[in-house]
Structures are given as C-alpha cells and as structure tokens.
Amino acid sequence: TKDAAEKEIDNHSISIKSNGGGVGKTTIAALVCVRGDIRTRYRHGLAWLNNEKQRHSLDYESYCKSLSEICMQLGLLPQKLKLTPFIRCPCEDDAVAKYRMVSYMKEAFANMGQLLMLHRKKHSRGEDARQVNFLIVFDGIIDESDVDWFLFRDSNDGYVLNDLLVTSNLAIRGLEHNVVVPPLNKRESIRLLLMESHLSNHTLAKNSHALGLVKKCLYHPLTIKFVGRWMNLKRVTAGGQKGVEEIIKEINSSLGEVDDSASLIDILFTVLSQASSPLVKGTHTKIVKLCFAAFVLVFCHKRGKVQVSLDIAEGLFVKVVETVSEILAKEDPLFQSHGRLATKLVPEILGALGVFNIVKHSTVSSDSGKPDSSIEIEYDLVHLFGEYLLRNDETMRSLVSEAESRWNQAYVKSYYESKRNYLWDDSSPNRMNKYALRYLPTHLILAEMLEDAEALLRNESYIRGRCSSFGWIEGIRSHVKDAEGLWASLRSSKNYADASATLLATFEQLEFMIKDEVSRNDSNSSCSNLEAGRCLHEFSLSLAKIGLWKESSRFCDSCLSLVAQNIWSSELVAALLYNSSVIHVENNKLDLAEERIEQCLNIVAKSIGLESVLYLKAVNQLGCVLSDRRDFRAAEDCFGKVITALKQTTGRYGIEFGTSLYKMGRIKHRQGQLDEALICYERALDCEKKGLGPHHVFVANAIMQIADVFLRQELFEQAERNYEKCLEVLSHDGALPLRGRVILCVVNGKLLGLRNQFEEAVKKYEEALLLIREDPSPSAKMKEARTLVMIALEYEKKYEYDSSERCLEESIAALKSALGTMHLDIATVLVNLARVKIANHKYVAASECLEEAMHIQKSNLGDGEEVANTLCVYASCLKVCGDFENAETAYHGAMQMIKSSDGGRDSVSLVGPLLGMADLMNIIGEYDEASEYYVECLEIQKIAFGKIHDSIANTLYAMGLLKHNQRNFARSVVFFKKSVDIRIKLHGETHPLVGDTYNMLGFVEAKNGNLDGSLRCLENALKVRQMLGDRLKEAETLLNIGHVHREKDQFELAIEHYDDCMSIRIAALGSNDATVAEAYMALGNVKSDMKRLDEALSSYNEALQIVESVHGKDDPKVGSILQKMGMLQFRSGSLVGAKSSLEKVVRIYRKAGKEYEPHVLKPLFILGNIYNILRQKDEAHSVWEDAYQRSIAIGDEADQDMHDALSRLVNAH
C-alpha cells in the first residue's frame, strides 16, 4: 500500500482510505513523507495537519488555524495571510452564518494561494514556475468537502500550487487517486498478533487455532491488536499456569462462531466486550465495562479526543461504582471480592488491552508526588464501543440506565474531594485542575447541580483562573457557553425571567472584572482593550440570542467604546457597528440604529471600499432602518443600490442579493404595488434556494409572502397552491426552529381561513401566539401583534366585530409595551381598529382611533401620504356618521397633503381621496361634482396603469353606482359592463370581483327594465359565487334572483330562491340574524302579491321578532316592518290589528327624531282612514290634522299627492 501511495504521488491529490479505523492509514502516510526522494521533491516545504481531534467539518476559525499551521511549517509568516476576523451577527440564522462564513473562507483560500505563489516564485531559481514544490498532508479528514479548501490555486490561471495527501475512512470523490488500505494477509496478521501479545519468538504461523482467530478478526489490524493484548493479559494474570495454545482456544471459545453476515464493527465490539469482562470465579465481571462506559459518557461525549488525568479517572470510577454498589454486590464477583477497590484495576486492565492509552508526563502530581499520567482513547472505534455499552448492550442496562446526571455528579464529588486547598487562580494548575477550569461547569450542569454551577460561574477566582489558563477570549467564550447551558437548564426549572436574570448577572460580573483588568493599565494586566471588547461582544450576542435586546445593546456599545479606542478605522469596528445597528433596530431605537450604520458605512468606504460586500451589507441594513421609519423611497434607493451592485456576482453573494430583493419586495407589498412585490419575492426565492437549500425556513417564508400577494390580489387558487408549497418546505425539517414552527402555524391558519374553516384557522393562529410568547424580545411582541391582527381579520370575516376589536386592542397593547406609544406600527393597527369599529357602528370610538393614529403619523412623518391615507379613512367615518361637511374638509385636506408632498395633480396617491370625495358627493346628491371627481380619478389611473387595471375597474364600478343613484340606469349598466369586462380580462370568469360586479349589474338591469338580462347577469354571479364557495354572497344573489322573478310575476320561482337564500343564511349565521329577517320580508312581500295574506303576515312577524331582538323594539327598522304588517292587515280587513300596528309605527318614528318625520305621514293617513271606517270621526279628524300640519312643516320633502288628499280631508271635516 505504501508503494501504491508513493507511485501515485505524481497526482495532485491522493487519498489513503479504509473501511474503518485502525488499519494504519496515518502510518502509511508518514512512511511516504519521510522518504528522501519525497523530501527532495517537495523542498519548498511539507506541512502535516492532524485532524484527529476535529469531530466536525471545517469552520472559519479551524480553517484559519490550519492555514496558520501550514504557514509556520512552510516557513511563512501567518500574518501575511491578512485574515479578516469573522464577526457573528446577533441571532443570525445558522445557515446564513455558514454561507457568510464560507465567503470569508474563500477569501482566506485566495490569500493562501497568493502567498504560496509568491513564495514559489521567490525560490524557483529559474525552474518551471508551474512545478509543484509543496505537499500538504491532511490526516483524518471527516468531510470530503474539506478537501478542496487545501488544494490552493494560482489566481491567474487556476493552476494547482500544491499536492495533497489525505487519510480518511471515506472514499473522497474528486481526488485524482484513492489508495485503499486492504485487510492484512494471514502472515501479517499472525506477525501482528505475536507482536501485540509479546510472543514475537513464538511459532504460531501454522497453528490452526491462531489462524482461525485472525480469520475471525477479519484480518483487521485493530481487532487483532486488541486480541493480542487480551492474550498477553490472560497469560500474565494466569501466572504461567496456562499455555499460549490454551489461551488462544479460550479466546476462540469466548468469541464463538462468527456469522458470515457479521461486520468488522460486530467482531471488534465482541472482542472488546469479552476482553473487558474477564471471568472471576466463573462469572464475567461488569466493573471494567461500567467504568469504561462512564469514562466515555462523562469525558468524551460530544468532545472527541481528550486527555484526562489518571487521578480524575480513578476518582470517577470509585464514585460510579458506589452509585450501583447494591446491584454489583448481588451480581458482580469482582466487586464481591474486592469492593470498590476493584476500580483500581480498571486503568491497568484497559491500558493493557490498549483500550486506554495511558500517557506518562514529565510533570509531577502535587497531590501524590508521582509523575502525572493521563488517559485518552486513541481510536474512534473504541469510543464507539463506549457508546454501544451505553445504548445497546442489554447486559449493562441496569447499570447504565439514566446515568448522565449520576455519573457527572460522581465526577464532581470526586474532584471536589481531591481538590483540597487548591486556588482556582493558581498560576500553575496541574492537569486535573486545568481540566476542571475548562469543563467543570458543564459537568455541574449535566449533574443537575445548578446552584453549584451558578456559584462557580460567578466565582471570581475561577473566572481569573480560567482566563489565565486559556486566554481571555477563549476563557470567556467557554464561560459564555456554560452560562447559556445553565440558562437553558434553569429555564426548564424556573420561569424565563429568573433564568435570564441569572445569565445577565453572570455577564455583568464578568464585565466588571474585565473592565477592572483593563483599567489596571500596567504590565501585570493580561487583557487588552481589543480582547476586552471582543469578550463583551460575546455577552451581547448571547443576550440577543434569548431576546434580551436592551441588555444586549448596552454590552455592544461598551464593546465598541473599548475596541474603537485603538482601531477606529478597522473592519472589525465596522462589523461591530453593523451589529450595534441590528440590535438597536430590535430595540426600536431607530435613531441610534441609523447613526451606527452610517458610521459603519463611513469606515468601510474609507478602509475597504464601496465595492466590498460589507459596504453593501451595511447599505442593506440602512435600507432596513429607513423602511422601519417608513421612509420607503430612501429605503428603496438603498436596496436598489445593493441589487444593482450584486446583480453580476449572485454566485458568491447570493444571500445578500436575495435579502435585498426580499426587503424591496416587502416595501412594494406594503405600498400595494403587488405585481412588483411578486417579482422581487420570486427572485429572492431563487437566491435563497441556491444559497440555503430548498428546505430552509427562509425559503418557506419567501413562499408565504408570495402566497400573501396572491391572496391580496384575490387570486385564491395561486395563494392556496403557494401556502401548500410553503408547508411542504417546512415538512422536510423534523426539528424546526422557533421561527419555522411559527410560520408553520401561521400558514396553516391562512390556508384554513382561505377555505372558510374559521374556527380551525383561529386555533392555528393561537398556537402561533403561544410559540411567539416564548420569546420576550421587542421583535417577538411585534410578531405577536401581527398574529393578533390575523385573528382579528378572521373574526371580521365572520362579522364578529366585538371579537375582532378585542384582538386589535390586544395587538395595540403588545406594540405599545414593546415600542412605546408613538410607533408607526401602532398607527397602522389603530386604522384597522377604526375600520372594524365603523363596521360595528361605533363611529365615535372609530374617530378617536383615527385621531390617535394621525397624531402618531404626524409626529413621525409630518404631513404626508400616510397621514393623508388615514385622513381619508377618517373622512369615511365622518361620512357614515352623516357629518358630510367635516368629511368634505377631511378629503380636501388629504388631497392637499398629497399634492404638497408628492408633487402634482397626477399622483396615484390622489386616487384614494378623489374616490372618497366622489362617493361623498354621490351620497349628498351633488351628482355633477361626483362625476367630475370620478373622471379626474380615472384620468390619473389610466396615465399610471393603462386601460386595464383593477383600480380602473373599481372606479368604473363606483361610476355605475353614481348613475344608479341618478336613476340613469342605462348609463349605470354601461359602467358596470366596462368594469366587469376589465375584471374578467385581469382575473378570469371565476374571480370574486367578477361575481360582485355581475350581481350589481343584474340588479341595475332589473331597474332598467331588462329583466331577462338581469337574470342572465345574476345567474353568472351565482355561478361564480357557488364555485368559490362563498355561501353568504351566494345567498345575496339568490335573493336578487328572487326579486327579478317576483317582478316577472313568477312567484313560485321567487319563493324557491328566497327559501334557498334563507336556508344558507340560517346555516351560516343562525336564525337570529338581520339578513335572515330580510329573507323573511322578501317572502312576505311575494306572498302578499299572491294574496296569501295570512302566510305573508306570518313571514313579516318572523322578521319582526328577529329585528326586535337584534336592534331593539324602538328601532326604525321595526317601524318599517310594522308598517308593512299594518298595511297588510288593513287590506285584509283586520282593522283592529292594523290600527295597533300603525300606532306603534307612529310612536317609533316620532321617537326616532326629525329625520323620520316624512315617514310618519303615511301611517297617520291610514290610521285616519281606519278611525273613519270605525266611525270614530273625531279621532280620524285629529289624526289627519296632525298629518296635514306635519306635511306643511316638512315642505318639499312631503309627498304632494298625500298632502293634497290630507288637505281635502281636513277641510271637509
């Protein structure tokens, strides 16, 4: 195999691989490298990277260390690499951080290539510049993607600058040659067995039992090594009473028959299991395996290879055995004979077997005076055997069950008993204490000794000892990691606030110590300003991670002040300023956020340049700040600048490009520019898929935004499809982060809402709320507020306005608690609340909401478009209240604001107030003025959007209503037809707006006398609404169809449609709803036409009961129904009943005020007739006189025919 490796060294990249560990890959690589001809060939240098302790693929920090090692071994100065510090961003997504880290690694890779190229040119001495003179050996690679990072290239022509030799258990794809280390042959296997069993002079080559034994080992070197060590141990402990052949037979017997399907791992684990559980008095002892499993779980789990002091290990073994002494006393022969002293044999046995590598050190133990010794597990396969004992070995189940807490506690107790009077900040800690300085808090947390862990983390002596031993930055990073682990454990046993307070107190103490160390400013101070700043930055990131943004910002600012004292112009400071801006945005400190990011931009522009990715990233952040301030135009400029700059480099900076597109899309979305928003979202989605993979939560979020756009465009099928895509993306991640779980609930809620499954939708939103409330940060409060708005919208769709109001009020409270009382998001929700209150007929409360919203908007933005939009809603509220004069003033004010801020009469923003003003003029009967406003609005829309656009269809629809009010039904039909044509072209035949327009067109056609045309339009509307499943609108159309059939004297068809309408409304809204009363009234009317007076009266009475229940007995709507009933009773000759009904009508209308004076005349006129028929002449004259005087007072509003009749009747009497 060594020869094969030497032969293939002419290739640029070689892999020495095996199908498992322990076969000699490292040895082969070393033998190749020590050859003289290899040394001669690679005279410019050979670098060896040992990756045996690295249990994960490369990150930026480990890559930089590897590059520095290469430089030092090749005689180059590492500082010439000019490595840029990688500064993590607060709460940055792991995948995004990895993507960003890779871009830093690419920069370091390029710098290393440049350095090697210069070094080669310097020493080439006229040789071919392309001849490779460097060899890099990467021993123990665990991720094949790491290989490419060590094949450095000439930046000009891409030529490879070094050869690469790697050892691995993997077949590395892409390498030019893989040398596979085969199993040993029989001869090699026997030789290894003899060597490891210390029987090198013994003749076993022809021994059938020995040959059978190495065959059972599948000729695997590591397995044979352990068998040889086992043979030697058995021989030594037998004291010469057993021969070699007898021992071999015993081992063969212990291993049993090997199944053909047995793997190398199976055989190895069997060997280790049998070797580490020797027979004592005819029974296998479990103590050795128990102690080994404890060593792996306590010291090696998730850490890879560590050296552990022998004293620590022996102390652990004693304590572990004590925890299960009752079981061992019954079952284990070694414990029965030796008690806990049996643990003294464990290191000797495992060391003799080669399971433990016992390392002797030159230092002397301060406790025992003996030379220090450490234990380590040399082979990964042996470590896996320990994991197997913990999880899969049924014989150990009772001993290892739920052991993590017990065994870590055992280590802690053992350590504290041996620690005695050692001071943590001793200048020369021994190995046992140095291990404790690095790992003791972790063991305390795993042991569930949380109070002790908290006390240790706040022990000044321990902190100083840790930082003294490992350096301030590494020491503080370890401390932060442990503090976060403590926080996570405390959180499950305490409430969130208590756990967070503990974490914060720990960091504040560390801050005090760090600043005290820096302030000493003498030669004894071991912490520089830069180190102190980076330590504080670690606190800032940690607090941001758990949502303590206010505290995070303070540490970030302290970090900046320390670092900037010495290196104000560096990229490091710029990165810290960027982070500070991000944190201040989360805290809603937008002024500070903008100030920090502008400082960052100034530094980057001067020190790195305007083309650097950090500069563009900072411009993007400035856009985010400006967007939060609602300065959308400036924000768009920022995002546009980044998009333009990165358009040509999306391969390298795809995430930054995608982020800017997404942010641009959010602005377009908020401004109602939905087509533009959709384009941005779709391009952002492509970038995120390429950069983060197809199943990342950011991908799901982009798809959700696309679906939201379709939903707002009322393209329901596309919306539903995209929501389902979003769920599909999220379903691929079995362990979604909190944000992903929130999106999952929200998207499910939107889908259910889209499918009219109201209650289920609300439940999903409430699930999202529970998840969001796990996070105490201001941004989480904003998410909570947005989710409450979604719930409010669901209630609004069901006309449950009180519940909708409650959710919106909770949303406002959440925003105010996080952002203060003057944030623009509060104004947005106040406007939504006002709309709901208007729908709920709470006009005064709605006005108050709008006034507060405008106050917030003016305070933040001055008079501008956003205030104008709210002023339009305010005007609408006044219009509904009948305060037409103030409504007109408000609309004029809105138009003036837009003209002043947006530059002219052709601004699209004028459409809102123009339409509002036109509608107002329509209501008050100023039809010519209304028409002028509509025409002006239409001209602006056509200039902005062309002839086919939703907004144009909306204006034409409003103009149709205007002509209807003018009773110019023919022109009204024309406008509605134009509106429906545009909507069909834009959305197809089955869009809700098409159904709405057909419904109105049918209604107006009936008024225009075209009953057949009316039915055709209404049937079209019914078809659309049935396809969409909008049952309430379907009921509305059925009612209108019934009206047309009544007009055509097709009474049975009318009744059939009225009945269908009523059934739908009762099923959807219950039997006590005002719209059900409307259907009863329609039935009463048609039955009255059919002379089925009793049935008509019964229907009117049903309607009366509902309206009285909903609106009260004195509501004018009750009077209207009673009037119908009175007239019907009068016609049927039921004069007493008619008299009673009409007297109630008169009382209700008089109580309603002057507005209803004209309505009183007819009931009084009929009442007079009833009195006259009943021969109650005086009462008849009195009633007619009253009616006559009221008619005179009303003037032009009175019915002239009725006035003349009353005049004749009064004068005749």
pLDDT, residue 948, reads 92
pLDDT bin (cut points 50, 70, 90) of residue 588 is: confident
Spell out where 185-335 has E strands.
Answer: 279-280, 283-284, 308-309
Q: How far is CA 147 from the centre of its chain?
A: 33
Cα(207)–Cα(210) distance, integer angstroms: 5
Query: In the predicted model, is pLDDT for residue 759 greater than 70?
Result: yes
pLDDT of residue 56: 64
- The Cα 173–Cα 147 span in angstroms is 10
Q: What pLDDT was estimated at residue 1024?
A: 94
Given pLDDT bands bounded at 50, 70 and 90, which one contains residue 368? low
State the pTM of this model.
0.74
N-terminal to C-terminal alpha carbon distance within the chain: 133
Classify 45 in phi/psi space as left (phi over 0), alpha (psi -120 to 50) or beta. left
pLDDT tens figures, 1139-1152 = 999 999 989 988 88
Size of the chain, expressed as the number of residues it contains: 1213
134 contacts 161 by C-beta, under 8 angstroms: yes
Report d(CA 776, CA 550) in Å as an integer: 11
Q: Is the predicted pLDDT of residue 883 greater than 70, yes or no?
A: yes
Decide if pLDDT at 9 tops 50.
no
Distance CA 381, CA 149 (A): 27
pLDDT over threshold 70, residue 127: no
Predicted pLDDT at 51: 74
pLDDT digits (tens, 9 = 90+) for 1092-1138: 999 999 999 999 999 999 999 999 999 999 999 999 998 888 888 98
Q: Given this model, what pLDDT does residue 952 score? A: 93
Per-residue confidence (pLDDT) for residue 4, from 0 to 100: 45
Cα angle 117, 123, 129 (rounded to 5 degrees) comes to 55
Burial of 1016 (0-12, 13-18, 19+ CB in 10 A): middle
CB contact set of 341 (below 8 Å; sequence gap of 6+): none
State mean pLDDT over 803-829.
91
Q: From CA 276, how far away is CA 253, in angstroms rounded? A: 16
Name the nearest CA neighbour of 514 among 496, 499, 505, 526.
526
Look at residue 495 in the predicted model and tell me its pLDDT: 67
Angle, CA 749 vertex, CA 745 and CA 752 arms, to 5°: 140
Return the closest-CA partner of residue 593 out of 602, 580, 604, 575.
580
Please enumerate in sequence order all residues whose Cβ is within 8 A of that of 1182, keeping only pairs 6 or more positions apart, or say none. none
CA atoms within 13 A on the CB side of 1129: 23
Sheet holding 308-309, edge to edge: 308-309, 371-376, 357-364
Q: What is the pLDDT of residues 976-1024, one digit of tens each?
A: 999 999 999 988 898 889 999 999 999 999 999 999 999 999 999 999 9
Question: What tokens does 661 get?
Answer: 């597109």
- Comparison of pLDDT for 362 and 668, the residue scoring more: 668
Instruction: Tell me the average pLDDT across 681-695.
Output: 91
Phi, psi of 524 (to 5 degrees): -80, -10
What integer pLDDT is reported at residue 905 of this predicted model?
Answer: 60
How many CB atoms lie under 10 A from the CB of residue 828? Answer: 22
Within 8 A by CB and 6+ apart from 320, the residues are 290, 291, 294, 343, 406, 407, 410
The whole-number average pLDDT for the span 647-668 is: 83
pLDDT greater than 50 at residue 517: yes
Supply the DSSP symbol for 695.
T
- Residue 608: Cβ within 10 Å count: 17
Q: Average pLDDT for residues 1174-1190, to the nearest whole number?
A: 87
Residue 242 or 217, more confident: 217
Lowest mean pLDDT among 82-91, 341-350, 397-406: 82-91
Of 789, 795, 754, 797, the residue nearest 768 (C-alpha): 789
pLDDT score at 7: 45
Q: Could you tell me the two tokens for 539?
A: 């606190």
DSSP at 149 = G
State how beta strands 13-17 and 163-168 pair: parallel
Q: How far apart are CA 256 and CA 233, in angstroms?
A: 20
Which pLDDT belongs to residue 55? Answer: 56
The predicted pLDDT at position 752 comes to: 94
**Contact assessment for residue 916 and residue 929, using Cβ atoms and an 8 Å cutoff:** no
Contact present, 970 and 977 (Cβ < 8 Å): no
pLDDT of residue 15: 65
DSSP class of 371: E
Of the pLDDT bands very low, low, confident and very high (cuts 50, 70, 90), residue 177 is low
Question: What pLDDT shows up at residue 93?
Answer: 81
Q: What are phi and psi of 131, to 5 degrees?
A: -70, 130
Phi, then psi, of 890 in degrees rounded to 5: -65, -45
Q: Give 527's pLDDT tier (boundaries 50, 70, 90).
A: confident
Given a cut of 90, is residue 831 above it in pLDDT? yes
Q: Residue 266: what residue type?
A: D
Cα(16)–Cα(166) distance, rounded to whole angstroms? 6
| Contact present, 264 and 218 (Cβ < 8 Å) | yes
The β-bridge relationship of strands 135-141 and 279-280 is: unpaired
* Residue 395 pLDDT: 87
Would you state the pLDDT for residue 211?
Answer: 87
Q: Which helix (H) or strand (E) holds 168?
A: strand 163-168
Q: Is the pLDDT of residue 447 over 60?
A: yes
Percent of the chain with pLDDT over 70: 92
pLDDT for the residue numbered 280: 85
Residue 28: pLDDT band by 50, 70, 90 thresholds? confident
Q: Which amino acid is at 555?
A: F
The whole-angstrom distance between residue 1036's C-alpha and the CA centroid of its chain comes to 41
- For the ranges 289-298, 865-874, 934-943, 1204-1213, the lowest mean pLDDT is seen at 1204-1213
For residue range 52-63, what is the model confidence (pLDDT) as tens digits?
Answer: 655 567 888 889
Q: What is the pLDDT of residue 1187?
A: 85
CB 992 within 8 A of CB 1024: yes
The strand order across the sheet containing 13-17 reads: 46-50, 135-141, 163-168, 13-17, 177-180
Res 6: pLDDT = 44
- Burial of 1117 per CB tally in 10 Å (0-12, 13-18, 19+): middle
Q: Helix or strand or coil: residue 48?
A: strand
Does residue 167 or residue 1125 have the better pLDDT?
Answer: 1125
Average pLDDT over residues 312-331: 90
Least-confidence region, from 224-233, 264-273, 893-902:
893-902
Predicted confidence band at 159 (pLDDT cuts at 50, 70, 90)? Answer: confident
- Is residue 643's pLDDT more than 70? yes
Residue 526 pLDDT greater than 90, yes or no: no
Give the containing element (helix H, strand E) for 539. Answer: helix 529-545
Rounded percentage of the chain residues whose pLDDT exceeds 90:
44
What is the predicted pLDDT for the residue at 719? 95
Q: For residue 5, what pLDDT is reported?
A: 43
When pLDDT is averaged across residues 656-663 and rounded to a whole number, the result is: 92
Joined tokens for residue 337: 């004979």
Give the pLDDT mean for 250-279. Answer: 86
Mean pLDDT, all residues of the chain? 87
- Given the DSSP bridges, would you call strands 135-141 and 163-168 parallel, antiparallel or unpaired? parallel
- Mind listing the pLDDT tens digit for each residue in 91-124? 788 888 888 888 888 889 989 998 988 887 776 6
Q: How far apart are CA 659 and CA 436, in angstroms?
A: 44
pLDDT at position 630: 82
CA gyration radius, the chain: 43
| Contacts (Cβ under 8 Å, ≥6 apart) of 211 | 186, 190
User: Tokens 């377009």 map to which residue?
Assistant: 668
Q: What is the Cα–Cα distance from 204 to 193, expressed in whole angstroms?
A: 9
Q: What is the pLDDT of residue 701?
A: 94
Residue-level pLDDT at 68: 93
Which residue intervals of 256-377 are DSSP H helices?
Answer: 264-275, 287-295, 310-323, 325-331, 333-338, 345-353
